[in-house]
Amino acid sequence: MKAKPSQRLVLVGGGHTHVQVLRRLVMHPEPSRRVTLVIKDPTAVYSGMVPGHVAGQYSAHDISIDLVPLARRAGATVVLSPATRVDAQARAVEFGDGRPLLPWDLCSINIGSTVSGLSILGVSAHVVPTRPIDDLEPRLLERIRVSAASLLRVVVVGGGAAGCELAFAIETRMRSEGRMAHIVLLAEHGPRVRGGRRGAMLVTQRLKARGIEVRTGARVVGAESAMLRLSDDSLLPADLTLWATGAAAHRLGADSGLPIDDRGFIRTDAQLQVVGHSNLFAAGDCAVLEGGPVVPRAGVYAVRAGPILVHNLLVASDARERKSFRPQKNFLALLNTCDGRAVATRGSWAAEGPLFFRLKDWIDRSFMEKFQVLDEQGNPRVAFDAGMPSMDEEMVCGGCAAKLADEPLRAALSLLPAPPDDPDVVAGVDARDDVAVLRHQGGLLIQTVDAFPAFSGDAFLVGRVAAVNALNDVYAKGAMPRFALAVVEVPQAHGASTLAQALAGVRSVTDSLGVALVGGHTTVGEGLKIGLSVTGVPDGEHPLWPTRGAQAGMDLVLTRPLGTGVLLHAHMAGRACGSWVAALHRHLVTSNQADVTALRDFTVGAATDVTGFGLARHLLTMLASASERAIIHAERVPLLPGARTLLCSGERSSFHEQNRIEAPVLTVAPPLQRDPIVEALFDPQTAGGMLVAVPGSQSHAVVESLRAAGCDDAAVVGMIVEGGRPGPTRVEVLPWPSEQRLG
């Protein structure tokens, strides 16, 4: 239906049908519609190509649709958290990660299916099921790798097309790797493929020709280590069991109280509308047509339902204009025998040969290329972009990349008169620090405020990151945050739900860290902006860490990787891989509390959290005096996944150039002048890690302590030396010399 002002469309799942909805939105943007894609994993795997991938015919990229850049190109917000319930009465999606309800005006479910029979005794513990399909190949290969058997006994359970194709795939893979294997296809009623008796005969002949044993007349009733118990009381040895039985429904339909059939699949009418719910749809393997023809759980039906769902969700102005989905009884099915041939069937007709594999390969690749925004290296695909409307290249970054540059900020502050003397102000505006330190009733208080505009349409995520970002200012002093106030600006449309999402995100962080959110203020504006004022106290008798104080003989330790600025910018433009974005989100919602604990027993000469001004500018503020000079060893600087690729491609945050420090203040050795790692020093960070100066004799132990606390990428990235030769150079970026002492 045509979008009402700011209509909220939520797509639950990233199956073959929903990717077509997203592509339609890429081709025909609808700014008035707020679209959210709710997914557990950033990548959707095309099931029809998985056997070819197992056999080595396709790469992981060939068979995958990266949902995150596709959704961003469609203007959709991505929520990387699985839905646990879709409440049709409240019109909201529920989650299990502490998020509040996500409201919708229109919703569609396309979550696929799982496999049946996993409740059989021992099966879930001892077999490799074909679902989740995303990581089938690595799970399978790991089982093969750890097996010490000279003759690997492989059993594929399931006589449908999936089981037959996987049996062929395993045989091809084992042969290509020089491994000996005895492969059994356990199919109680024999191969069950399309094409009638001739189709089954052709598949059986190909299995026999490849040395794959077909065992019929029994089913699995129990599984043990290296053994299957069958219904005829026999035992079947199995070093590796692949479970490719029929489809089973996910729990979402039943848990949501939606109308389901006796197998748990969501019942829909011919318009793909969930029975009894006019604004809720379902399609693909998770759904079943009420009163419609009984069709197999095959990807072809999900693909062909796509245009109908696109029309009914995005085009039809009301229910009277919705179209009906009429699945055809017969279709061309192509079964990959994974040796350059395929079995083709339609109705009772069947044939096989290399021509049919070439046809299948062309069909599958053509389908996938419609949705693959990025290539295997993470660069935009020219073929996808051809004819597509481009996204706004002038977009301004959110997060800590949306701030006034250092020089204008200093200029503005210089126009203010000196603050009046106050004996209770230990460090105020003149300290030019991220926090103020105040005396209060014989003790000290640490006060900070931080705010930024949203970098994502996921208000819950933005709230979490805003809280982490503000609390990190207090942690950078070695102090403990105690109380917080929030200031939130929300849009007029759906302002209450946006506020609830954002504050729930804030609370999920503050509550877990023992910080009380005690109040706040709201305003209405063009979009979500959120900030926190935080009050902290010293950590017991431990002194506060100075921002300035890095002296010669100290090493520089970076606790967490860089790259949030370039990744957030690329994500906004649909140029960041989903796996990169998932890693970025994990980084953004991790506070520096553990870093502080790990550093507590060491001498910290200077410390700062690395935020919007980038590592290089923060480093300048750490130097104790003009007589010190910092050396950064570029190769030692850790980067978030994808950051190097994006920097190499020329991607930059909108605040990047304002952070740049030119010669002679910062000089770069000639071998590194084109190295993107140098550009990372100017990348604006949101909720970044800490940069600390510690005595060189302690740096190795500091890194070990940080890594033990969960800072896996902690590294010594440089050192402080005497100024030496005269001149204005304060920071040098040099190659890493192997003889250096850094830990």
Predicted pLDDT of residue 626: 84
3-class secondary structure, 613: coil
User: How far apart, in whole angstroms, are the C-alpha atoms of residue 287 and residue 284?
Assistant: 6
| pLDDT (0 to 100) of residue 450 | 94
Whether the per-residue pLDDT at 3 is higher than 60: the answer is no
Distance set, CA 350 to CA 51, 75, 192, 199, 211 (Å): 20, 44, 13, 5, 22
In this prediction, residue 723 has a pLDDT band, given cuts at 50, 70 and 90, of confident
**Cα(730)–Cα(716) distance, rounded to whole angstroms?**
19
Mean pLDDT of 10-17: 96
The two three-digit tokens of residue 144, written as one number: 């093969």
Laid out side by side, the sheet with 102-103 consists of 83-87, 92-95, 102-103
Cβ atoms 126, 303 nearer than 8 A: no
The 10s digit of each residue's pLDDT in 477-508 is: 999 999 999 999 999 989 999 999 999 999 99
- Residue 400: pLDDT over 60: no
| pLDDT number for residue 399 | 60
pLDDT tens digits, 46-93 = 989 999 999 999 999 999 999 999 999 999 999 999 999 999 999 999
Q: How many other β-carbons are positioned within 10 Å of the β-carbon of residue 122?
A: 16
What is the pLDDT at residue 32? 86
Residue 65 lies in a domain: no
pLDDT at 260: 97
Residue 613's φ and ψ, nearest 5 degrees, are -85, -5
The residue segments making up the domain with residue 503 are: 399-538
The residue among 536, 554, 559, 702 whose CA lies nearest residue 622 is 554
Closest CA to 632 of 520, 734, 554: 734
Asked, as a colleague might, if the bond just before 664 is cis with ω within 30 of 0, I would say yes
Rounded Cα distance, 281 and 304, in Å: 15
In this prediction, residue 739 carries a pLDDT of 44
Q: Distance between CA 578 and CA 64 in Å, rounded?
A: 11
Predicted confidence at residue 145, as pLDDT, reads: 81
Q: Is residue 45 part of a domain?
A: no
The model's confidence at residue 415, banded by pLDDT at 50, 70 and 90, is confident
**CATH number, domain containing residue 233:** 3.50.50.60
Cα separation, 564 vs 317, whole angstroms: 41
690 and 657 in a common domain: yes
400 catalytic per annotation: yes
Say whether 49 sits in a helix, a strand or coil.
Answer: helix
φ/ψ (deg, to 5) at 204: -60, -40
Instruction: Give the list of residues 6+ apart from residue 231 with CB closer than 8 angstroms, or none.
Output: 218, 219, 220, 221
Question: Where is mean pLDDT largest: 378-392, 435-449, 578-592, 646-660?
Answer: 578-592
* CA atoms of 250 and 263, how far apart (whole Å): 10
Beta carbons within 10 angstroms of residue 15's beta carbon: 28
Query: DSSP state, 312?
Result: I
Pick the range with the lowest mean pLDDT from 95-99, 216-220, 714-718: 95-99
What is the per-residue pLDDT for 627? 86
Say yes or no: 617 and 686 in one domain: yes
pLDDT at 711: 97
> Which residue from 731, 499, 689, 463 is spatially nearest to 594, judged by alpha carbons?
689
349-353: strand order across its sheet: 333-336, 342-346, 349-353
**Which of 189-193, 289-293, 312-316, 515-519 shows the highest mean pLDDT?**
515-519
Count the neighbouring beta carbons within 10 Å of the beta carbon of residue 314: 19
Q: Is residue 505 part of a domain?
A: yes
Residue ranges in 578-725 assigned as alpha helix (H) = 578-588, 593-599, 614-622, 643-648, 656-659, 676-679, 699-708
| Higher per-residue confidence, 532 vs 627 | 532
The pLDDT-based confidence of 97 (bands split at 50, 70, 90) is confident
Is pLDDT above 60 for 738?
no
Percent share of the chain, pLDDT over 90: 75
Furthest-apart CA pair in the chain: how many Å?
95
Q: For 429-473, what is each residue's pLDDT tens digit? A: 777 788 889 999 889 999 999 999 999 999 999 999 999 999 999
Is the per-residue pLDDT at 2 higher than 70? no
Q: Which of 304, 327, 350 is the last residue of a domain?
A: 327
Rounded mean pLDDT, 686-714:
97
Q: What is the pLDDT of residues 19-53, one digit of tens each?
A: 999 999 999 999 889 999 999 999 999 989 999 99
**Interior CA angle at 667 toward 662 and 673, to 5°?**
95
Specify whether the CB–CB gap between 272 and 281 falls below 8 A. Answer: yes
Residue 205 has pLDDT above 70, yes or no: yes
Single-letter amino acid code for the residue at 216: T
Same-domain status, 597 and 729: yes
Look at residue 318 in the predicted model and tell me its pLDDT. Answer: 77
CA 80, CA 458: separation in Å to the nearest integer? Answer: 10
* Any domain includes 481: yes
444 and 572 housed in the same domain: no
DSSP annotation of 90 reads T
- Map 106-149 to HEC letters: EEEECCCCEECCCCCCCHHHHCEECCCHHHHHHHHHHHHHHCCC
The answer on 170 and 124 residing in a single domain is yes
What is the total count of domains within the chain? 4
Q: Is residue 344 assigned to a domain?
A: no
Q: Is the pLDDT of residue 345 over 50?
A: yes
Is residue 481 reached through a cis peptide bond, with omega within 30 degrees of 0 on the bond before it?
no
132 plus 108 within the same structural domain: no
Residue 428 is predicted with a pLDDT of 74
CATH number of the domain bearing residue 416: 3.30.1330.10
User: Does 177 or 397 have the greater pLDDT score?
Assistant: 177
200 and 229 belong to one structural domain: yes
Per-residue pLDDT for 421 more than 90? no
Tell me if 436 is assigned to some domain.
yes
Task: Identify the residue with better confidence: 10 or 322.
Answer: 10
- Report CA torsion sign: 427, 429, 431, 436: positive
Q: Are residues 422 and 512 in the same domain?
A: yes
Residues 601 and 727 in one domain: yes
Rounded CA gap, 226 and 353, in Å? 35
Residue 684: give its domain's CATH number.
3.90.650.10
The mean per-residue pLDDT over the stretch 528-555 comes to 95
Higher pLDDT, 703 or 423: 703
Q: Would you say residue 278 lies in a domain? A: yes
Tell whether the torsion through CA atoms of 569, 77, 461 and 15 is positive or negative. negative
**Considering 338, 400, 577, 711, which one is annotated as catalytic?**
400
Q: Inform me whether the pLDDT recorded for 474 exceeds 90.
A: yes
Q: How far apart are CA 731 and CA 661, in angstroms?
A: 9
User: Which helix (H) or strand (E) covers residue 168, if one does?
Assistant: helix 161-176
Q: Tell me, yes or no, whether 377 lies in a domain.
A: no
pLDDT band at 363 (very low <50, low <70, confident <90, very high): very high
**pLDDT tens sequence across 347-358:** 999 999 999 999
Average confidence (pLDDT) over 565-579: 96
pLDDT for 241 equals: 95
pLDDT at 411 over 90: no
Provide the CA 733 distance to its chain's centre, in angstroms.
32
Tokens standing for residue 440: 């209060």
> b/e map of 650-685 (b: 16 or more CB within 10 Å)?
ebbbbbbebbebeeeebbbeeebeebbbbbbbbbbb
Same-domain pairing of 702 and 585:
yes
Pull the structure tokens for residue 579.
Answer: 């796996």
Residue 743 predicted with pLDDT over 50: no
d(CA 2, CA 7): 9
Residue 695 phi/psi, 5-degree rounding, is: -55, 140
Confidence of residue 218 (pLDDT cuts 50, 70, 90): very high
Whole-model pTM: value is: 0.92
Alpha carbon distance 403, 412 (integer Å): 14
Predicted confidence (pLDDT) at residue 742 exceeds the cutoff of 80? no
Does residue 569 come out as left (phi exceeding 0), alpha (psi in the -120 to 50 range) or beta?
Answer: alpha
Whole-angstrom distance, CA of residue 192 vs CA of residue 186: 12
In DSSP terms, 204 is beta-bridged to: none
Mean pLDDT for all residues in the chain: 91
User: Which residues, 6 or more positions from 412, have their beta carbon under 8 angstroms from its beta carbon?
Assistant: 404
Do both 528 and 599 map to the same domain? no
Bridge partners for 10 per DSSP: 36, 107
Q: What is the pLDDT of residue 625?
A: 87
In contact, 68 and 38? CB cutoff 8 Å: no
Per the structure block, which two tokens stand in for 355?
A: 């021509």
Instruction: Indicate the range of 337-351, 413-427, 436-450, 509-523 predicted with least confidence.
Output: 413-427
More confident residue, 671 or 76: 76
Same domain, 121 and 165: yes
Dihedral, CA atoms, 155, 158, 159, 164, nearest 10 degrees?
-60
More confident residue, 194 or 88: 88
Return the C-alpha torsion angle 313, 317, 323, 325, nearest 10: 10
pLDDT (mean) for 129-150? 83
Q: Which amino acid makes up residue 107?
A: C
